[in-house]
Amino acid sequence: MAELRFDGRTAVVTGAGGNPSLGRSHALLLAQRGANVVVNDIGRTAAPGYAGTASAHAVVGEIRRAGGKAVADTNSVATEEGAAALIDTAIDAFGRVDVLVNNAGVSIAAAFDEMTAHDIRQHIDINLMGTIWTCRAVWPHMKANGYGRIVNTGSGAFAGAPLLVAYSASKGGVFSFTRALAGEGAEYGIKVNSLNPGAFTRMVAAQQDESSPMYQMAQASLPPELVAPVAAFLSHESCRANGDTINGAGGLVNRVYLAETGGFSENPLTIETVAERWAEVIDGTPDNAVPVAAHDPREWNVKPYDASARA
């Protein structure tokens, strides 16, 4: 197979500073394959020993020393203004944006009733709204070009993870947002997918004790470099996936999809009937579970809201 390249393309990667980090690995690989790269990172300290070892400017330096083209950006995607400024950086430097990899994120492990309002807000503002704001800022440029690839970073926690309630909620939002936006982008040549990564990063390091088996396993078996090729393929013009969620961890690559059980149907319906037939409702065995296709939001026919009707 011919090498997949990004010559002439411009990619924006958020949360791309730090080492080890997914964003850095994404940025380095895209640049290695010919893309102009905007390396975005606010330089936040995420874990002792791992923060500050490679800021956005340092990653840009790595790319340039290897012969690639890159510029740094330190705007926060957590605000609409910051996300717009980030995309402006890309347009000013390279004249266009073809690829957006939304990798910036935060994760704070804590019991739900012990989390502060600030902690909860951070998850929503960075993980979810940061993804939405950057997509919104780049959208008109991609529509005008008739082309775009967007990769949003999700997580297996979208299905719910104890002690990561706010993080799970934010990633559940990313999952739904990606599927919905994919339906809007199709007619403009814009493909939108999400990537659930599994890798040893600054964020993972901050949540584990260095002596723990989990820490040591992740450090040895889950390098970010084994996730970057998945993000890169989803960013490539040859990728036809749209609205999908892909897992990438330690070399494993597979697709996540929603499914429904066969359940039952009765009319009239009583509380007692629901109780008596509950086993049918929750039976998720392969013979009784089917992918959710009929309700795929990418295929919904929704009439656009008339903004003029607000008055």
How far is Cα 76 from Cα 44, in angstroms, rounded to an integer?
10
Residue 231 Cα to chain centre, angstroms: 9
Give 2's DSSP letter.
Answer: P
Give the Cα-Cα-Cα angle 218, 219, 223 (nearest 5 degrees): 90
Known catalytic residues? 167
Interhelix angle 129-145/165-185, rounded to 10 degrees, is 10
Phi, psi of 23 (to 5 degrees): -60, -40
How far is Cα 44 from Cα 203, in angstroms, rounded to an integer?
11
For the sheet with 252-256, list strands across it: 69-73, 36-40, 10-13, 99-102, 148-153, 190-198, 245-249, 252-256
Phi, psi of 181 (to 5 degrees): -65, -30
